[in-house]
Amino acid sequence: MSDKNKTASRVEKAATGIEEDVINLNERLHMKGDGETVAHELRLLEALLFAAVEPIDVETLRERLPEECDVGVLLAQLSREYAGRGVNLVRVAGRWRFQTAPDLEPHLIDIKETPRKLSKAALETLAIIAYHQPVTRPEIEDIRGVSVSGGTLDVLMELSWVRLRGRRRTPGRPVTYGTTEEFLAHFNMEEISDLPGRDELKAQGLLDSRLPKDFDVPIPMMSLDIDEDPIEDDEDTEFVMDFMADDDKPSLDD
């Protein structure tokens, strides 16, 4: 299945799920006659989501809402109510949040915080980590063809887009890198499989049109690989990074 069809299928499936939840909510209203209760639950859910400083997962919402309410149904109803408004209720990285409607973003650009501009080296490194995770620093350098400065990885980790995943079960036990939920949330992706595939990247001019027939975009692995151990809880993450000595010569990474 092509990436375009895969995306369409996922959107269609999500839409079908929302419709089913709305139908269930309507049945609940008619069968139990608890319209006031549901309205109160919706208001409480709306308030929780607006007050949150970061996206909230369903489990946290269940802890804050009345025990008998159906959080999935309420989220579907609230998402539908906000679908055509200035802000939308969306799910990113398995969590829920309100965000500006995409078509209105150009009108707010003068009041939005200026984003930190990443260097070309940082963008390339981030892309390699996103698609090749779990990946070690030597593997990143092998793919890029140049050395990776510690500063580049520091920037990506300060932004909370990249994390230390574990250690490779090879001599030296090098650290492996991967992306975070903050990375997914920033780029409005529900899961890492939403990354653009080969056809999408070619259509955007990000891949050479003369690629070999057997070329394919790597599939990232979010869970621990079979040859990867987790970072131990007692390891000080400030000293976990594999501090490979940078060359004395000027780096091509800056």
Q: Would you kindly state where each structural domain of the chain is located, as residue ranges?
A: 9-107, 120-239
In this predicted model, which residue has the larger pLDDT, 17 or 39?
A: 39
Contacts of 94 (CB under 8 A, 6+ apart): 57, 181, 190, 191
Q: Phi first, then psi: what are they for 83, rounded to 5°?
A: -55, -35
pLDDT attached to residue 161 = 93
Rounded Cα distance between 85 and 14, Å, is 19
**Average pLDDT, integer, range 25-50:** 72
Local confidence band at 19 (pLDDT 50, 70, 90 cut-offs): low
Tell me whether the CATH fold assigned to 9-107 matches the one assigned to 120-239: yes
Query: Which residues does residue 230 pair with via DSSP β-bridges, in sequence order?
Result: 166
Tokens of 245: 């000595």
Distance of CA 150 to the CA centre of its chain: 24
In this predicted model, which residue has the larger pLDDT, 147 or 5?
A: 147
Write the burial class of residue 171 (CB in 10 Å: 0-12 exposed, 13-18 middle, 19+ buried): exposed
Angle at 25 (CA atoms; ends 74, 23), nearest 5 degrees: 120
What digits encode the pLDDT tens for the residues 45-99? 999 998 888 888 899 999 999 888 889 889 999 999 998 899 999 888 788 999 8
Buried-exposed string 40-51: b where 16+ CB fall within 10 A, e elsewhere: ebbebbbeebee
Third-level CATH fold of 9-107:
Arc Repressor Mutant, subunit A (1.10.10)
Q: Percentage of residues in the chain with pLDDT exceeding 90? A: 25
pLDDT attached to residue 122 = 92
Local confidence band at 128 (pLDDT 50, 70, 90 cut-offs): very high
Beta-strand runs (E) in 4-140: 87-92, 95-100, 135-136
From 92-96, 162-166, 174-178, the region with the lowest mean pLDDT: 92-96
Q: What share of the chain is helix, strand, coil (3-state, %, to 5)?
A: 45, 10, 40
Local confidence band at 36 (pLDDT 50, 70, 90 cut-offs): confident
Local confidence band at 235 (pLDDT 50, 70, 90 cut-offs): low
Third-level CATH fold of 120-239:
Arc Repressor Mutant, subunit A (1.10.10)
Q: Are 134 and 166 in contact (CB under 8 A)?
A: yes
**Average pLDDT, integer, range 35-54:** 86
Name which of 228, 204, 197 is nearest 130 in CA terms: 197
Q: Are 137 and 148 in contact (CB under 8 A)?
A: yes
Contacts of 163 (CB under 8 A, 6+ apart): 157, 177, 178, 179, 180
In this predicted model, which residue has the larger pLDDT, 126 or 238?
A: 126
Buried-exposed string 114-139: b where 16+ CB fall within 10 A, e elsewhere: eeeebeebbebbbebbbbbbbbbbeb
pLDDT attached to residue 75 = 92
Q: What is the mean pLDDT of the chain?
A: 77
Tokens of 154: 């520091």
Local confidence band at 239 (pLDDT 50, 70, 90 cut-offs): very low
Helix (H, G, I), strand (E, B) or coil at 240: coil
